[in-house]
Amino acid sequence: MADIKIEIDGQIVNAKAGETLIAITDREGISVPRFCYHKKLSTSASCRMCLVDIEGVPKPQTSCSTPVSDGMKIHTQNEKAKASQKAVMEFLLINHPLDCPICDQGGECELQDVAVEYGSDVSRFSEGKRVVAASDIGPLIQTDMTRCIHCTRCVRFGSEIAGMMEMGGTGRGEDLKIEPFLAEGITSELSGNMIDVCPVGALTSKPFRYELRSWQMVSNESIARHDLTGSNVYAQTYKGQVKRVVSGDNEAVNETWISDRDRFSYEGLTHENRLLTPQIKVEGQWKEVEWNVALDFAIKGLSNTVLNNRKAHKLGGLASSTTTTEELYLMQKLLREIGCENLDHRLNVNNLDEAIHLESNLKLQALEQVDHALIIGANLRLEQPMINHRLRKAQLSGANITALNVKEFDYNYALNHVSVAPNEIATILAGVLKIVLEKKSIELPEYLSAISPSGSSVELAKDLLNAERPVILLGEHIINNKQAASIAQLIAEIAKQVGANTLNLSISANALGAQHVNFVPNSVGMNVNEMFKAEMRAFLLLDVYPEYDFHHANSAIEALSKEDVFVVSLNSFNNDLVAQYSDVLLPMAAMYETSGSQININHDIQSFTAMVKAPDEAKPAWKVLKVLADLLELPGFHYENSTQILEEFEHQPAHEHSQETAIDLSQQSTAIETVWMHNCYHSDALLRHAKSLSMSTLGQVNSASMNANTAKELALSDGDEYLGVPVDITETVADLCVFVNSNQATNIRSMS
């Protein structure tokens, strides 16, 4: 669009023809009141609050829906504009309740702010005000719909951003109500953003209800660390506690939206299971002690079992990928300084000989520009919600999207589903590669000679070859596929031939940080599964919960619980199982209580500071590891803050773990296979302790899905249990496989 000049309040402003007036005034810092307008939503022009006077136009015009043209003269502050805006405000306040003193939106209410300038202190409306009954739309959002001004932001957010139009308008005139369509209320994984976009107190945070006023809290930038996005958030605190989390703006990462798990997981910080004081096990009994006693006990235990006997090869170090990069760096440095190379963060992988190596080479913003996407083994909506949001924008812009999964998932946008058993995925992709190579007249490798491409392979290859900007996304359902490494290598080969980018979503949280600092065993070290088969004498565990974190949970618990094995656990939470196998419990700070960094899918190192002090005796894990290193008299651990640790590993070359794998297509099985996934609100310790998320519709999902043929072969019916999970018979699942989405810890132990 060509550059033009317009005049606003006597000021000459550069603009582009067709640009909306409100976008220009916002850019120029000119104040125009509004309620229905939101920069990320479509224009509805329903509130009429942004009326301005345009010379030559008889009536005031809404600036949110008025495109500018060359030479236009606009007045936002003259008598005509002011009178129009004040008239609209008077109508908006006719039915609005005067309950600001008890409204959670008080202090950050757009209606309240605008009313100061445009409202009147006397109402001319003497009739009774209408009252709208509140709707129960779930445990996350509180409704007070009498306050609603019908801006429809929540409705437009649901249909345009979340992809689920769960709120809508019913009735007409004074009887118009904004309410949910379905009895179960709001089920979107992004529903909390409705709270942010609501300009009044109609939709507020239910966990935060009647807690505090906005001006009482301190708001600081932080990073949500539940997935590969690393969404930017503001953590709002009061008297040393996180009281609320709201979205931050970062166009390159999460725009202005966050997922519900990023918003509400802070509730877990005050859970009754928080580990608050150091404890040691003496003659089978737990005893609370001071930090120096617990650390001395830990050092003596490690020294007696592995260090004094020069048996560092009998020590294992395991960490969750939800920990900070600084903590992972210090732990691997400590272990390697004492001669231990047994360390791993890949706790949930069945066979590490089939570990996935695939590069992520596309930025989140660029994901919106693709014209074709192939998703393999992922339910992006629940597992990577902000990445799914970007892909939805691409689909709405015309991108063709295909999902190759064991089950048809609801992504909240149109796509082609290809349901396939786990043992057929590699064969289908091999067929795609063969078609692509033949199309390009490239000599076929030996492993493709016996492949006869199926109809699915033909369609997938056709879409990839016809695309100009394709991307292939590999999800976490493939982690424990028996041909996982071959699938990843096939994807890399296909991407190379068709010019596609790739995103490796088989990892989560801060796994990229763990890879960066080399938190994996070297050639002489043991991986996590090898440690459990070996005769280990001691373990150092960082934020590990076996019943959730390990694929081989029973083997892990058995190995950790042996009488002659000494276990030091750094944890944020305690439970009976952790207390069963541990000898020392060291309370560590949780999310928002420690400083550090995370590396997201963009390969950005995003740093954050502690929002609050950890409760009672809990300490940041990096400080605990530093003191352990000092007590062991190890050199190079003289850090005063986490920034110094960041500076040390940031300037070191990142460890590359990508490698070419020999593609093996011979592993075929006719046995029924199980794909086991965590419920989306039970994927890390903090989420599992956030009560409101667990009570939500998504948090309650606990099912073993299979089709009728598979159920018949397993002699199961609806309502039965499979591996302790209720059976759901549906034809959306491929033959010979069961997809389990569980929120139960004990069930996972059945998978070992």
Tens of pLDDT, residue by residue over 431-470, are: 999 999 999 999 999 999 999 999 999 999 999 999 999 9
Cβ contact 701:739 at 8 Å: no
Residue 28, Cβ neighbours under 10 Å: how many? 13
Q: Report the alpha-carbon distance of residue 310 to residue 338 in Å, rounded.
A: 9
CATH number of 279-353+511-650: 3.40.50.740
Domain boundaries, the chain: 3-93, 100-109+121-269, 279-353+511-650, 357-505, 673-751
The reported pLDDT for the residue numbered 659 is: 61
Share of the chain above pLDDT 90, in %: 88
Share of the chain above pLDDT 70, in %: 98
Cβ contact 328:511 at 8 Å: no
Third-level CATH fold of 100-109+121-269:
Alpha-Beta Plaits (3.30.70)
The reported pLDDT for the residue numbered 184 is: 79
Q: How far is CA 488 from CA 118, 381, 479, 733, in A?
A: 60, 22, 10, 23
Task: pLDDT band for 671, please (50, 70, 90 cuts).
Answer: confident
The reported pLDDT for the residue numbered 748 is: 45
CATH number of 357-505: 3.40.228.10
Give 282-339 pLDDT, tens digit per residue.
999 999 999 999 999 999 999 999 998 889 999 999 999 999 999 999 999 999 999 9
Q: Report the alpha-carbon distance of residue 539 to residue 531 in Å, rounded.
A: 10
CATH number of 3-93: 3.10.20.740
Q: Which residues pair with 245 in a beta bridge?
A: 235
Task: pLDDT band for 746, please (50, 70, 90 cuts).
Answer: low
| Identical fold, 100-109+121-269 and 357-505 | no
Mean pLDDT, to the nearest integer, of 410-427? 95
Q: Report the alpha-carbon distance of residue 85 to residue 695 in Å, rounded.
A: 43
Task: pLDDT band for 244, please (50, 70, 90 cuts).
Answer: very high
Q: Report the alpha-carbon distance of residue 741 to residue 367 in Å, rounded.
A: 27
pTM: 0.94
Please give the backbone phi and psi of residue 617, each rounded to the nearest 5 degrees, phi first: -100, 5
Give 362-387 pLDDT, tens digit per residue.
999 999 999 999 999 999 999 999 99
Third-level CATH fold of 673-751:
Barwin-like endoglucanases (2.40.40)
Task: pLDDT band for 541, please (50, 70, 90 cuts).
Answer: very high
101: which 2 tokens? 């003193």
Q: Report the alpha-carbon distance of residue 153 to residue 119 in Å, rounded.
A: 22
The long-range contacts involving 569-572, CB below 8 angstroms and separated by at least 24 positions, are: 569/541, 569/544, 570/540, 570/541, 570/542, 570/543, 570/621, 570/624, 570/625, 571/275, 571/541, 571/543, 571/544, 571/545, 571/685, 572/274, 572/275, 572/543, 572/618, 572/685, 572/686
Please give the backbone phi and psi of residue 575, each rounded to the nearest 5 degrees, phi first: -155, 175
Task: pLDDT band for 14, please (50, 70, 90 cuts).
Answer: very high
Cβ contact 505:387 at 8 Å: yes
Lowest mean pLDDT among 100-109, 240-249, 352-361, 650-659: 650-659
SS3 73: strand
Give 572-586 pLDDT, tens digit per residue.
999 999 999 999 999
Give 263-272 pLDDT, tens digit per residue.
999 999 999 9
Q: How far is CA 512 from CA 345, 349, 438, 589, 609, in A?
A: 11, 16, 35, 21, 20
